[in-house]
Amino acid sequence: MANLWQSLSPENRNKLAEFYEKKFGKLFLAPGRHDRDIELDTKLESLEEIGKTMTEKPNYAIDKQGREG
């Protein structure tokens, strides 16, 4: 799947780079092929842990949520 930079025409890439440099005062570095996408390391909770969390009463007063209390 293409990212935003790959989807732009060369003319629009130049415009984006110029805008970035004017707005932030830094040189725009285009993403290269060596750049990696974000990687996530996930941990799934057991069904027992999820059930326990869902049945626990909240630790706060209802009025702290902006409701009448």
Measure the CA–CA gap between 45 and 62, rounded to whole angstroms: 27
Asked whether residue 13 is domain-assigned, the answer is yes
Question: Is residue 64 included in any domain, yes or no?
Answer: no
Query: How many domains, in total, are found in the chain?
Result: 1
Digit-coded pLDDT (tens) for 34-58: 556 677 788 888 999 999 988 988 7
Q: What is the pLDDT of residues 5-30, one digit of tens each?
A: 888 899 999 999 999 999 999 888 88
Is 25 within a domain?
yes
Is 3 a domain residue? yes
- From residue 15, alpha-carbon distances to 8, 21, 44, 52, 63 in Å are 10, 10, 43, 53, 50
Domain span at residue 1? 1-31
Residue 12 resides in a domain: yes
16 CB neighbour count, 10 Å cutoff = 15
Q: Are 28 and 17 in contact (CB under 8 A)?
A: yes
